[in-house]
Structure 1
Amino acid sequence: MNQTYSKKQKLHQLLVILVPILVTQLAMYSMTFIDTLMTGRYNSQDLAGVAIGASLWVPVFTGLSGILIAVTPIVSHLVGAGKQSEEVAFSVIQGVYLSIIMAIVVFAGGALSLNPILSGMNLENRVQDTAFNYLAAISTGLIPLFVYNVLRSFIDALGKTRVSMIITLLTLPINAFFNYILIYGKLGFPELGGAGAGYASSITYWLIMVISIIIIHKNSPFSNYGIFRRIHAVSIGKWKEILLIGIPIGLSIFFETSIFSAVTLLMSTFETAVIAAHQIALNFASLLYMIPLSISMALTIVIGFEAGAGRFRDAKEYSWIGVSIAVFMALICAAVLLAFPKEVASIYTKDDHVLQLTAAFLIYAMFFQLSDAIQAPVQGALRGYKDVNVTFIMSLISYWIIGLPFGYYLANHTDWGAYGYWIGLITGLAAGAITLTSRLIYLQNRKYPAYMEAK
């Protein structure tokens, strides 16, 4: 990654980093997309079970893995400031240690709490069994998934996002293959239904981790840092640094993703067709969310690099270039959803009732895109500045104090029904976009103006 001197150079460098991240995120999310698609074509009960299981798993994983994202700004600042490779290697290895501990804690917590949680929900027996088996299967890949998140943060922080892209693309066909044989019971394997999707994802996580370790150990520029050349002692001080930055990031991500999961769980009182349609629409909306999310991740890298070098004017320019790209892409995605809701729904299901419900939900998903186009890149910019504490408070208020209660009221006390929850989600995302943008503007104009003028 290099210093840039014009907006054109910044746009070029941002796109060089962004495009591989986007491809990687789309490929990673395609695993969930394939899970949903192939399970939906297996039967609607297993689809609903995977939906419930995913609604419990996704906020836990994204929230905790969000803590590990702290490795990206830490490494970016070290590289931008020209620090020695030993400091970078030490930070990455401590992140790996921490990720293993976190994975073990999540596994133990799930083993103790999963049955009581599912039993307390009003689910059909088949749906409940599928949700349990799906989560049990995917838990076998917790350690490699968390470790990979740290290794990918290191790779991306060096601006080598194309490497992460290649790793993920290599494993995506494997995930689809194991989905096919384990869900449907092909080639002599047992027919596992929704649980097969969980095992397929777990196998893929192990492969991604192993490939990443080999590349980092053997290929330049990663090998120059000697990440795996020596055994480092555990450093509570470095863990504290990662956690002080990472916990607010993780909480912010958790507050955002968990509201979607909470809505899915609250909607368990509706018929199975409504749950399935909601999950399909949410799955596709989340697929589109990979665009602003990827821009967010790219901004964390470039802004962390510039802030580490003290070039705050350049960091500010990067942030608004990123937001502009996200808004432009959101308008295109919204137009597609508005024009082809039934066509999109038909990708997932052949059931006419589920298809009609999904098409209606997708119209609401169109409004997600505009708010996400602002709030996601802005969050990435704030993480690049290591400004994370205020962000998670704003996320809590926007999603859980404004969005979810408003959606619950509309769903249960008006004629909106299930669609009321989606209106609440849209309201929460809009509130998040407004508050986070205000924070970024304040940070850039009040905290760093003297430095930027000096540049």
Structure 2
Amino acid sequence: MIALAYPLVLTNFAQALIPATDVVLLGWVGPQALAAASLGVNLFNACMIFGVGVMIAASPMMARALGQRAHNVRDVRRTVRQTMWSAVLLVVPIWLLLWHAEAILLMLHQNPVLARDAAHLVRPMMFGMLPLFFYQVLRGFVSALERPGWAFLVGAFAVISNALINYALIFGRFGLPAWGLFGAGLGSAISNLLMALGMAIVVTRQRHFRRYRLFGHFWRADWPRFREVWRLGLPIAVTLGMEVTIFNAAVFLMGLLGAAELAAHAVALQIATLCFMVPLGIGQATTVRVGLAYGRGDRIGIGRAGWMAFAITMAFMLVPATLMLAAPRFLVGLFMNVGDPANAHVVALACSFLTVAALFQLVDGAQAVGAGMLRGIHDTAMPMLFAGVGYWVVGFGTAILFGFHFGWGGVGIWTGLATGLAAVSVLVIARWARRERLGLV
């Protein structure tokens, strides 16, 4: 489990470092740019995560096929091809939506100046979404073959290139124009394109992958497999969409409180997101390991893979929880100048948010790995319902109640997030524990 999980964790870190780098660079520009970027990135992420959910369906499908028969070349190729078709179908309405980012943010009663600036970031960034979807499909392919290190190497290269490109485009270095927020969005889009091209080169040239000929007969329709991708992937997309949009809703609620709360939330959320990359990677590894056992019909192997992943995740999440409680100011200092008096209010707010984030690290890890366990046995519909109830009934309701009715402000909103995550984690782990009685395996 660890051998498969750690390259996936590192790859997640690499992907998370791309927007985190943008936050750091725009934090150097100033709190106004940071607040606008927070609005834009969270709107972009809401759409991106939904699409990635459909792409994720490829991983358990390929794992099950390889569990049933090793070197199942044709079946794996069909899944990759039709998942990429799904990406093309999905990205067009997403582009149309994001093109009107400013109008959407104004409908959500955000500051007009911040909404206009956020749109400058989103419009170039959105064209990197299709390459990002292709990268996710190819990453699922190499993970299903239990060789995820290639995805990490490509992702690490993208982090370095993104930092250089965005630094140049934001501040006008190396003879390029200083485009600020627009430059940050364009740089991210270019980085996503480089990741997709890098993975395409790997799967067509590396000897373990090229015999699958993933791009052979790419334009050949395969409607049964296309429908299967959507049958499994759409509930995953909705589940992830509800999870990320509750955090996006928190951003918009923070925007109602003020620019300082919004900037502090952006910093605290980046820290929590980086910590989340570990359970997310373990969950992705779990989907593969459980899926392989599921394809073999190995019930003992299914249970062993799932519970081992859960134990590893719980042990790890104690580390970031302790760090957030013990040294929140140090963590915030990684993203902004804590010694600048102009940032004092933002730093204090970010530290208070991290205190709450420390308390939900365990439940956040549990829900992430629990979802991965259930995806391995192709159980995606019920977790979607769990997400709806947990995030939007329990979590959002608690955030509104504590944040505004009781006057807790930003801390109340983060308390709502923690409550929603706890509810979902209890529901998914309980379902996994009852999987055989429910006839799932």
- Normalising by the smaller structure, the TM-score range is over 0.9
| Contact in 1 for aligned 2:44/2:126 (Cα 8 Å) | no
Please give the residue correspondences for 1:122-271 in structure 2 after superposition, counting only pairs within 5 Å: 122-271=109-258
Supply the distance in 1 between the matched residues of 2:293 and 2:124 (Cα, whole angstroms): 42
Structure 1 portions without partners, runs of 5+: 1-13
1:426 match: 418
Structure 2 portions without partners, runs of 5+: 338-342
Q: CA deviation at 1:108?
A: 2.0
**So what's the TM-score if we normalise by structure 1?**
0.93
2:81 match: 93
The partner residue of 2:94 within 106, 111, 136 is 106
1:400 match: 392
Calculate percent identity across the aligned residue pairs. Answer: 27
Supply the distance in 1 between the matched residues of 2:270 and 2:178 (Cα, whole angstroms): 24
The partner residue of 2:358 within 366, 372, 382 is 366
| Contact in 2 for aligned 1:25/1:290 (Cα 8 Å) | yes
SS of the residue aligned with 1:443? coil
2:317 corresponds to 1:330? yes
SS of the residue aligned with 1:348? coil
| Contact in 2 for aligned 1:277/1:357 (Cα 8 Å) | yes
Supply the distance in 1 between the matched residues of 2:137 and 2:413 (Cα, whole angstroms): 34
| Contact in 2 for aligned 1:46/1:126 (Cα 8 Å) | no
Q: CA deviation at 1:243?
A: 0.3
Supply the distance in 2 between the matched residues of 1:194 and 1:289 (Cα, whole angstroms): 26
Supply the distance in 2 between the matched residues of 1:359 and 1:186 (Cα, whole angstroms): 33
2:397 corresponds to 1:410? no
| Contact in 2 for aligned 1:145/1:205 (Cα 8 Å) | yes
Indicate how the Cα distance of structure 1 residues 198 and 56 shifts in structure 2: closer, same or farther if over 3 A, else same: same
1:437 match: 429
Supply the distance in 2 between the matched residues of 1:281 and 1:231 (Cα, whole angstroms): 42
Instruction: Give the letter aligned to residue 327 of structure 1.
Output: M
Instruction: Give the letter aligned to residue 179 of structure 1.
Output: N
Q: CA deviation at 1:229?
A: 3.1
SS of the residue aligned with 1:225? coil
**So what's the TM-score if we normalise by structure 2?**
0.96
2:369 match: 377
Q: CA deviation at 1:445?
A: 4.5
| Contact in 2 for aligned 1:316/1:444 (Cα 8 Å) | no
Supply the distance in 2 between the matched residues of 1:375 and 1:203 (Cα, whole angstroms): 32
Q: CA deviation at 1:125?
A: 4.4
User: Which shifted more, 228-237 or 27-36?
Assistant: 228-237
Instruction: Give the letter aligned to residue 12 of structure 2.
Output: Q
Supply the distance in 2 between the matched residues of 1:427 and 1:118 (Cα, whole angstroms): 26
Q: Deviations over 1:272-309 (max 9, x none)?
A: 11110011101110110101111110000110011001
2:36 corresponds to 1:49? yes
| Contact in 2 for aligned 1:47/1:194 (Cα 8 Å) | no
Supply the distance in 2 between the matched residues of 1:320 and 1:146 (Cα, whole angstroms): 30
Computed over aligned residues only, the root mean square deviation of the Cα atoms, in angstroms, reads 1.4
> How many pairs does the alignment contain?
435
SS of the residue aligned with 1:234? coil
Supply the distance in 2 between the matched residues of 1:398 and 1:154 (Cα, whole angstroms): 31
Q: CA deviation at 1:377?
A: 0.6
| Contact in 1 for aligned 2:110/2:252 (Cα 8 Å) | no
